[in-house]
Amino acid sequence: MSFKRSGTGTFFEEIPMAHASHQVHFNEFLEPVSFEILSLNQAYEQVLGLDRELLIGKNLLDLVPTIGEEPFDWKSLGSRVALSGGETSFFTYSEGLKGWVDGVIFSRRHNSFDVLFKRVDPHWILRASEKLVKERKLRFEKGSALRQEGLSTGEVNRGIRDSLYALMGKGTSGTGDHVLKFIKSNTEVIQGLLGNLREAIIIGDVGGRVLLINQAARDILGIRDSELEDRELARVFQILHPGTGENLTPDILDTLTVQNNFVLNNLALYRHDTGKTVPIEGSLSRMGIQGTGVIILFKDNTVHEKRYRRIEDISYRDHLTDLYNRRYLEEAVKRLDNKRNIPFSVMYIDNNDLKGTNDLNGHPAGDRVIREVASIIKSVCREGDILARVGGDEFEILLPRTSKSQVEQIKKRILKAAGKSSAMGGSLQVSIGCAIKKSADEDLSQIRSQADREMYREKAIQKNARQQE
């Protein structure tokens, strides 16, 4: 069902599912700062436990402050749908609502989105599925067996899918391990049940081996049975770096040791049959309380690639320099902060007198200086380094797998290139601070702060030197 044109206020008021409409307010970097509630129905009031008079016009992010801490990225999903239109279904555990929710997010107007959902208990579905498998002794016939149990084919297929979603580290202790054992012992049956689902699903164990892959996933991957003999998850499911072509899946899997969920937002997946890539969206999630496995759910996003690329450029690029912005940088930090990238170096760069340039020659001249510094950074740094403009004249560079001697060489090359620049009729004066994360137990946020302090210390030293000349 498409929700774009349907649904008057009366329709949504009368349905038993919770519904609310939101206006998204963005800052200058197209980051969402407010989800203003425009309307809601009685079911939504009951979910939040507040009267609608107290909710209309309020910011959802203030009413449910834990929304930014959810494993499922509500803020990004709502913002993306508000900007690009369309609709996206979800089934996830909500910390704010303390339970599982199933629903859809869709957009009827630009910069706004509606959410329609209901609370669910996925465990009855798993129990029904187990009962069917057990009683039929792995000889599951979709027609008569389903009718005898009073369930339709669609209900069981949806039930198995929802049971898989339920493995994302929530529920009672041991649930994930129990379900993983069930999957291992009944792979053939579950494979058949998942065969008709449009969602691509891959399930792996704690050792990084593929336990189950459905036909939708095989089609998107362009993979044959003979290529699944190895069944190593990081080889079957390869997310490639857009610049270097490096397989990022090992890094992404490493992040699941410290977080429950990783969102696949229009990333490039390697196709085994063509050697090319296909854009996908979806998620990777830990299975079970102890993280005993991983579940990957994804879909081919080719149809919307151009639209998403345009939105990504707006959302993640600095318009003046074409470097990444702070929003992209923070997402890259989450993705790259793992033991595989140690030593992890961070560099902060600042132009020493941009204010003086603006005051003396005007802001267009200041913009030329900023673009020149960005050009120098791009010419010196390597593919795989993350370059971002994080302030007026401040830049931050993430340099994974970069030692002290390597980062010092990069620093020297930037200073040398700046000294030779003639952007303003003379050399550019920049200050650079560096810091290195040398072990997995160090906090990268503190390393970044250290690099920032080093940059300001260097800036103060250069200022004193100029005053003494």
Per the domain annotation, does 1 fall within a domain? no
Identify the band that residue 195 occupies on the pLDDT scale cut at 50, 70 and 90: low
Neighbours of 260 (CB within 10 A): 18
Q: Which residue has the higher pLDDT, 28 or 1?
A: 28
Which H or E run includes 219? Answer: helix 215-221
Same domain, 44 and 107: yes
Same domain, 131 and 96: no
- Of 69, 87, 120, the residue at which a domain comes to its end is 120
Determine the average pLDDT of the residues in 12-39: 86
Same domain, 96 and 218: no
User: What's the total number of domains in the chain?
Assistant: 3
Same domain, 202 and 130: yes
Q: Which residue has the higher pLDDT, 127 or 413?
A: 413
Q: Provide the token pair at 456.
A: 């300001």
**Residue 360 pLDDT:** 73
- Of 94, 120, 146, the residue at which a domain comes to its end is 120
Which H or E run includes 344? Answer: strand 344-351
**Residue 157 pLDDT:** 45
**Residue 193 pLDDT:** 57
Same domain, 303 and 197: yes
**Residue 114 pLDDT:** 92
User: What is the rounded distance in angstroms from the CA atom of residue 357 to the CA atom of residue 147?
Assistant: 78
- Of 120, 150, 172, the residue at which a domain comes to its end is 120
Provide the 3-class DSSP secondary structure of residue 423. coil
Q: Residue 139 is part of a domain; what is its CATH number?
A: 3.30.450.20
- pTM for the full predicted model: 0.43
- The yes-or-no verdict on residue 176 having pLDDT over 80 is no
351: containing domain = 317-468
**Residue 143 pLDDT:** 40
Cite the DSSP H helix spans in 150-205: 153-165, 175-185, 187-194
Same domain, 361 and 458: yes
| CA neighbor of 406 nearest in space, from 397, 418, 419, 395 | 397
**Residue 22 pLDDT:** 92
Per the domain annotation, does 3 fall within a domain? no
Per the domain annotation, does 302 fall within a domain? yes
**Residue 317 pLDDT:** 86
Cβ 13 vs Cβ 42: under 8 Å: yes
Same domain, 331 and 453: yes
Identity of the highest mean pLDDT range in 21-30, 318-327, 446-455, 456-465 = 446-455
Instruction: For 275-318, write each residue's pLDDT tens digit.
Output: 889 888 888 877 654 556 788 888 888 866 666 566 666 778 88
**Residue 454 pLDDT:** 95
- The yes-or-no verdict on residue 4 having pLDDT over 50 is no
Determine the average pLDDT of the residues in 459-469: 79
Same domain, 73 and 134: no
Mean pLDDT, the chain, as a whole number? 77
Q: Residue 335 is part of a domain; what is its CATH number?
A: 3.30.70.270
DSSP per position, 80-133 = HHHHH--EEEEEEEETTTTEEEEEEEE-SSTTEEEEEEEEE-THHHHHHHHHHH
Per the domain annotation, does 2 fall within a domain? no
**Residue 409 pLDDT:** 95
Per the domain annotation, does 205 fall within a domain? yes
Same domain, 404 and 454: yes
Per the domain annotation, does 358 fall within a domain? yes
- The yes-or-no verdict on residue 89 having pLDDT over 80 is no
Determine the average pLDDT of the residues in 265-280: 87
**Residue 307 pLDDT:** 62
Instruction: For 206-224, write each residue's pLDDT tens digit.
Output: 678 888 888 889 999 998 8
**Residue 390 pLDDT:** 92
- The yes-or-no verdict on residue 138 having pLDDT over 50 is no
User: What is the rounded distance in angstroms from the CA atom of residue 235 to the CA atom of residue 128?
Assistant: 34
Identify the band that residue 197 occupies on the pLDDT scale cut at 50, 70 and 90: low
**Residue 213 pLDDT:** 87
